[in-house]
Structure 1
């Protein structure tokens, strides 16, 4: 393991997105994020104000999802969601593309929508969720290129609600498709430290996961063992 626990924590967006979560579940999720000082929480749009308040005074960022999980809201609705989220304090925006448009070959419409959300987000970073489970490699590449042209900060694999999530092959393809100024986020099924570390070797810099505590406790154990071995 070539990373410290703190470095790994700053690669994780702690996911608090399940539809059945109560306000108490959201509070507990934010407590986990604050305890481990992760990069951000990714919460449902309705939970942005709560997360912002709970994480005030920490360096954990608050992010939310737009057009989630299917990406089928009209662009105007996605833009309005984005504007409200930013107004309420979200600084990272994970948007789902219109998968049907992409699969229909209307790359121009996909790009225009991403650009509209990037504009609405202002200084907030936009992460473009491709939902790779439903796409061919050619469609994944086209979506990555459109996201970069539109000014997105990240391309991201999955919502976690599709049949499959992040795969090594998809991440390698996505990393090859975009320039170094665009980061790659893996999401969907990232539940172990070994999976996370394997994906960092591909150039992935951010991970969406709800298994944050398990991953970081494992990292802490390994770091302690390594330190003991040197002693």
Structure 2
């Protein structure tokens, strides 16, 4: 298996979050893009501010690597209007795929109208502009039952409002990777969680993000039916695959 085309190589920390300067952060992004070109990853997932630079580097390299960015990140509590404004700006900058954080706080409070409305409008904006849209659930904040309900809700919206033919352009994604859990519990994708999402969201695409750091875990995710893996450990995963193919 060529695992590179499953990988969304990711760098989403702001300069302050990483305790770096803006210049150092930009250099991290440049290094990620060069790595993505070298290994032919599916996509680089970066903050919108970096899209013009990333697009320039990819164009100069004549690379097919896609550009993804995040919307409403990472809390998800932005208003629908704020998320749509952010998404429109990212589209203008040249993003190919937009990963929205579902307002899971509103969802947990039972405000399904708000959640349904933002999902419908977000999907419409992306599909109207020929973009792929992903919905980040933040699974560490949800119970298994809540994960089932919201996965089914997103699938229902796609089928009823946009047609099954658009299932290939809508993802259900596990996590931001930034959620703070208690007692060091997993804050991202686990095999259990991705199995639940797969069983309730398919035929929508699914993306495992948060905590996938090695080749063996990535392979298990793909076996479960995961279509994309968001990780900051892409190079380690690729190198492990190459060594494995060589019999090491």
Unmatched 5+ residue regions in structure 2? 16-23, 159-168, 182-186
Within the candidate set 134, 137, 141, 1:130 is matched to 137
Is 1:176 aligned to residue 179 of structure 2? no
Q: Pick the aligned partner of 2:152 from 132, 145, 159.
A: 145
Specify the SS of the correspondent of 1:225: coil
Which residue is equivalent to 1:107? 112
Partner of 2:101: 96
The Cα offsets for residues 78-134 of structure 1, whole Å up to 9 and x where unpaired, read as 001111111111010111011111101122221210111112222111010000001
> 1:156: which partner in 2?
173
CA contact (8 A) 1:107 1:142 kept: no
Cα deviation code 1:157-206 (max 9, x no counterpart): 000001311011110000000232x0110000111000101111111110
Secondary structure of the structure 1 residue equivalent to 2:247: helix
Distance 1:9 1:120 in 2: 29
Q: Return the match for 1:120 from 125, 135, 148.
A: 125
Q: Please name the residue that 1:52 is paired with.
A: 55
Partner of 1:36: 39
Q: Number of matched residues?
A: 220
Task: Say which of 148, 155, 167 aligns to 2:190.
Answer: 167
**Structure 1 contact 166–188 (Cα < 8 Å) conserved:** yes
CA distance in 2, matches of 1:150, 1:43: 27
- Measured in 1, the distance between the counterparts of 2:109 and 2:192 equals 23
Q: Report the equivalent of 2:14.
A: 19
TM-score, normalised to structure 2's length? 0.85
1:38-80 residue CA offsets vs partner (Å, 9 max, x unmatched): 0000001111111111111201000100000110111111001
TM-score relative to the length of structure 1: 0.92
More helix by share: 2
Equivalent residue number for residue 78 of structure 1? 83
Q: CA RMSD in A?
A: 1.3
Structure 1: how far apart are the matches of 2:103 and 2:188?
17
Residue of 216, 220, 223 corresponding to 2:238: 216
